[in-house]
């Protein structure tokens, strides 16, 4: 038996990346008591900057048009409107908390131009924007009296019999307790699912739990087929990130036959290809058997002026050198790496999901980016929608208060009584490795019908096997088992949506349907659990269920 702790709060925020911190602060400022819990690592510290239309010739309209066009016309226009209209205020808000965004001599903000943007609009504090911003948010939260707890793994969302979101069941992994949290409103800010792929850019612990939690609670998911890949990560001798901007300065990609395959579609060179196209071309070359020994293609930067690498990109230069690669002298193997999930929990302009009382913000939410994302917009999304979710969740919580949840309380008691604090952990990493390899090989950058069916069959098998493992009733096994089931569930959501979309659009490429098909597919794909089964449907954007 392990201890059970009951907690009551107005607003429970799941996730302590920027969207969670921003949501918590906004709810606290609206007078709600706030508890922010997080399981472990977040993607947010990696954010270099975020977009706001504050440049001299820029405008909200131009930002809107870039974002909507960038989404291949699949984003929810109402959400894009909110994103673009509130971005500048988000920047001002962060500065008032202590983030000092870089400015030029005349006092105007220093702006960079991110991929897909018609104007420079990426605000930043050197390349530490997120780290400094998160520290500022944490200070404000502590000062305001919000409670933040780490090493808390949320395993289930709790609804009343009428289906209203009312809290969560969680495991305090460090203090070895079960937490039964009753809340007037719950905000999912649990980030993406890059951790269900092998060799992605995300921390492995980001296994898409939020999608699985929301799905099991009956919330609708949208655009799950759109997973963005970074095109060129070093695959050997170690997985290392690389900036694609280097291709604009003379970087080249060649296949095992020494052919510059990108030139067939982009005669001006690799630097002219957008990220999604580059990822696709690299993946297709590897699929065609023209890859290198370790599953990549060759990347050659030796034509780039040496100083540009050793001084202009010194961090990359040093990192690669540490692993035995001199970027100025030798070529190395690169391949695509899973990055951002563009879809997620379907939300309205108040960040409400389809389950009353359940809000979502940040990468776990869907609808803002459609089929592709312009650079720097995830950074804006987490600030803008975090703030909106927090304010609306606080208002919702105040209007209804916390519920008793007798059934869930009994379940929590039973669970705490059945688990032991000690015991050996099962071999959950064997399951997670299989899922990651399967997702990368069958539900990766380029997919086809047969592969997606195969992936769905295998994911079900892995999920069922993990659920059926007989193991000691320890806390570790309980958490491990749920995490694997979440990974399998989220993988199935991506595969089901990818199977349904019989065209190629943005970051979703079907080898068997390689063309964009506006006549049939200018619409979004929605997933929902009904009577224990996944229901897949498609609707034109903006249409209600
Ligand atoms: C290396 C890298 C660089 C990037 N650079 C940029 C950039 O420059 N510009 C840009 O726009 N975007 C960038 N992105 C994308 C961007 O970082 C993410 O989309 C964004 O940070 C997501 O923020 P979030 O708050 O929604 O989630 P995250 O920051 O990922 O936070 C998720 C939180 O949820 C918690 N959590 C998850 N599951 C559970 C659970 N079951 N129980 C409890 N807690 C849970 C996690 O522990 C974490 O605290 C980058 C991503 C990476 C990986």
Q: 487 CA to middle of ligand 1, Å?
A: 17
As given in the structure block, the two tokens for residue 304 are 């780039």
Q: 531 CA to middle of ligand 1, Å?
A: 31
Residue 509 has pLDDT above 90, yes or no: yes
Atom of ligand 1 nearest to the CA of 362: 26
Helix extents (H) in 207-295: 209-216, 275-287
What pLDDT is recorded for position 206?
97
Residue bearing tokens 């399967």:
438
Residues 6+ apart with CB under 8 A from 433: 198
Q: 46 CA to middle of ligand 1, Å?
A: 8
Binding pocket residue ranges, ligand 1, CB within 6 Å: 14-20, 37-44, 46-50, 152-154, 189-191, 201-202, 206, 209-210, 340, 362-363, 376-379, 382
Confidence check on the interface: ipTM exceeds 0.90, yes or no: yes
As given in the structure block, the two tokens for residue 201 are 């850019």
Q: 336 CA to middle of ligand 1, Å?
A: 19
Burial 248-275 (b: 16+ CB within 10 A, else e): ebbbbbbbeeeeebbeeebeebbbebbb
Provide the pLDDT confidence category of residue 544 given band limits of 50, 70 and 90.
very low
Which range, of 147-151, 174-178, 475-479, averages the lowest pLDDT?
475-479
With pLDDT > 70 as the criterion, what percentage of the chain qualifies? Answer: 98
Atom of ligand 1 nearest to the CA of 129: 8
State the burial class of residue 471 (Cβ atoms within 10 Å of its Cβ: 0-12, 13-18, 19+): middle
Q: 450 CA to middle of ligand 1, Å?
A: 32
pLDDT tens digits, residue range 30-43?
Answer: 999 999 999 999 99
pLDDT tens digits, residue range 293-331?
Answer: 999 999 999 999 999 899 888 888 999 999 999 999 999
What are the residue ranges spanned by the domains of the chain? 227-339
Residue 58 has pLDDT above 90, yes or no: yes
Per the DSSP assignment, residues forming a β-bridge with 420 are: 474
DSSP string for residues in 306-375:
HHHHHTTTHHHHHHHHHTT--TTT--EEEEEEEEEE--EEE--TT-B-SSTTEEE-GGGEESSSTT---T
Characterize the bridge pairing of strands 34-37 and 4-14: parallel
Question: Do residues 484 and 212 make contact, with C-beta atoms less than 8 angstroms apart?
Answer: no
Residue 545 has pLDDT above 60, yes or no: no
By most ligand atoms within 8 Å of CB, the mutation choice from 21, 44, 316, 388 for ligand 1 is 44
Characterize the bridge pairing of strands 4-14 and 50-51: unpaired
Domain topology for 227-339: Flavocytochrome C3; Chain A, domain 1 (3.90.700)
Q: Kindly report the protein residue whose alpha carbon is nearest to atom 7 of ligand 1.
A: 47
Cα–Cα distance measured from residue 527 to residue 521, given in angstroms and rounded to the nearest whole number:
16
Residue 426 has pLDDT above 80, yes or no: no
More confident residue, 471 or 212: 212
Cα–Cα distance measured from residue 166 to residue 155, given in angstroms and rounded to the nearest whole number:
14
Q: Kindly report the protein residue whose alpha carbon is nearest to atom 3 of ligand 1.
A: 46
Candidates 433, 479, 487; CA nearest to 460 is 487
pLDDT tens digits, residue range 368-384?
Answer: 999 999 999 999 999 99
Q: Kindly report the protein residue whose alpha carbon is nearest to atom 5 of ligand 1.
A: 47
Cα–Cα distance measured from residue 54 to residue 464, given in angstroms and rounded to the nearest whole number:
51
Candidates 239, 217, 222; CA nearest to 230 is 239
Atom of ligand 1 nearest to the CA of 210: 38
Half-sphere exposure of 408 (CA within 13 A, CB side): 24
H-helix or E-strand spanning residue 177: strand 177-188
Residue 82 has pLDDT above 80, yes or no: yes
Span 98-106, average pLDDT: 94
Atom of ligand 1 nearest to the CA of 201: 53
Atom of ligand 1 nearest to the CA of 154: 42
Count of other CB atoms within 10 angstroms of residue 417: 11
What pLDDT is recorded for position 424?
67
pLDDT tens digits, residue range 171-209?
Answer: 999 999 999 999 999 999 999 999 999 989 999 999 999
Q: What's the chain's average pLDDT? A: 94
What pLDDT is recorded for position 281?
97
Cα–Cα distance measured from residue 34 to residue 359, given in angstroms and rounded to the nearest whole number:
14
Count of other CB atoms within 10 angstroms of residue 278: 24
Q: 370 CA to middle of ligand 1, Å?
A: 18
Q: Show the CA angle centred on residue 486, arms to residues 481 and 490, nearest 5°.
A: 155
pLDDT tens digits, residue range 238-287?
Answer: 999 988 888 888 999 999 999 999 999 999 999 888 889 999 999 999 99
- Name the percent of the chain in helix, strand, coil, to the closest 5: 40, 20, 40
Provide the pLDDT confidence category of residue 418 given band limits of 50, 70 and 90.
confident
pLDDT tens digits, residue range 119-128?
Answer: 999 999 987 8
Q: Kindly report the protein residue whose alpha carbon is nearest to atom 21 of ligand 1.
A: 44
What pLDDT is recorded for position 423?
66
Question: Do residues 536 and 497 make contact, with C-beta atoms less than 8 angstroms apart?
Answer: yes
As given in the structure block, the two tokens for residue 512 are 């068997």
Candidates 208, 481, 170, 175; CA nearest to 341 is 208
Question: Do residues 400 and 32 make contact, with C-beta atoms less than 8 angstroms apart?
Answer: no
Characterize the bridge pairing of strands 152-159 and 365-366: unpaired
Question: Do residues 394 and 27 make contact, with C-beta atoms less than 8 angstroms apart?
Answer: yes
Residue 402 has pLDDT above 80, yes or no: no
């Amino acid at each position: 038996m392990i201890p059970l702790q009951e907690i009551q709060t107005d607003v429970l925020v799941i996730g302590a990346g920027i969207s969670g911190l921003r949501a918590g602060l906004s709810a606290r400022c609206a007078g709600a008591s706030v508890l922010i819990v997080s399981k472990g690592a977040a993607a947010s510290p990696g954010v270099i900057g975020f977009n706001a239309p504050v440049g001299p010739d820029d405008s909200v309209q131009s930002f809107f048009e870039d974002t909507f066009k960038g989404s291949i016309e699949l984003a929810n226009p109402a959400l894009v409107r909110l994103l673009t209209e509130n971005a500048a205020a988000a920047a001002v808000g962060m500065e008032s908390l202590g983030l000092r965004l870089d400015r030029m001599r005349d006092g105007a903000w220093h702006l960079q131009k991110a991929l897909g943007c018609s104007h420079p609009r990426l605000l930043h504090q050197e390349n530490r924007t997120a780290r400094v911003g998160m520290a500022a948010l944490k200070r404000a939260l502590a000062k305001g009296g919000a409670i933040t707890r780490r090493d808390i793994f949320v395993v289930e969302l709790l609804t009343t019999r009428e289906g209203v979101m009312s809290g969560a069941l969680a495991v305090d992994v460090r203090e070895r307790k079960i937490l039964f949290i009753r809340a007037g409103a719950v905000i999912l800010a649990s980030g993406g699912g890059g951790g269900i792929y092998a060799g992605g850019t995300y921390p492995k612990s980001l296994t898409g739990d939020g999608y699985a939690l929301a799905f099991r609670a009956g919330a609708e998911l949208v655009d799950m087929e759109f997973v963005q890949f970074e095109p060129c990560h070093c695959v050997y001798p170690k997985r290392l990130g690389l900036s694609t901007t280097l291709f604009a300065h003379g970087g080249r990609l060649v296949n095992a036959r020494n052919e510059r395959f990108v030139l067939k579609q982009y005669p001006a060179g690799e630097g002219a290809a957008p990220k999604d196209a580059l990822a696709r071309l690299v993946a297709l070359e590897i699929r065609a058997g023209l890859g290198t020994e370790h599953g990549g293609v060759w990347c050659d930067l030796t034509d780039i002026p040496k100083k540009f690498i050793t001084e202009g990109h010194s961090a990359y230069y040093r990192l690669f050198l540490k692993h035995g690669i001199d970027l100025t002298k030798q070529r190395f193997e690169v391949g695509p790496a899973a990055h951002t999930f563009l879809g997620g929990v379907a939300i309205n302009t108040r960040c409400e999901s389809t389950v009353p009382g359940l809000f979502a913000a940040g990468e776990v939410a869907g609808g803002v980016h459609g089929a592709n994302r312009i650079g720097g917009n995830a950074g804006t999304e987490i600030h803008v929608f975090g703030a909106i979710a927090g304010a609306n969740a606080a208002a919702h919580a105040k209007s209804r208060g916390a519920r008793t949840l007798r059934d869930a309380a009994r379940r929590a008691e039973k669970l705490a009584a059945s688990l032991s604090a000690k015991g050996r952990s099962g071999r959950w990493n064997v399951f997670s490795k299989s899922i990651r390899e399967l997702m990368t090989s069958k539900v990766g950058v380029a997919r086809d019908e047969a592969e997606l069916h195969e992936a769905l069959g295998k994911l079900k098998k892995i999920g069922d096997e993990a659920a059926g493992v007989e193991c000691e009733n320890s806390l570790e096994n309980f958490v491990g088992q749920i995490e694997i089931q979440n990974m399998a569930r989220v993988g199935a959501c991506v595969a089901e949506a990818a199977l349904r979309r019989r065209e190629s659009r943005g970051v979703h490429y079907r080898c068997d349907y390689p063309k964009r098909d506006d006549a049939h597919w200018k619409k979004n794909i929605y997933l929902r659990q009904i009577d224990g089964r996944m229901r897949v449907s498609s609707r034109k954007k903006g249409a209600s269920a």
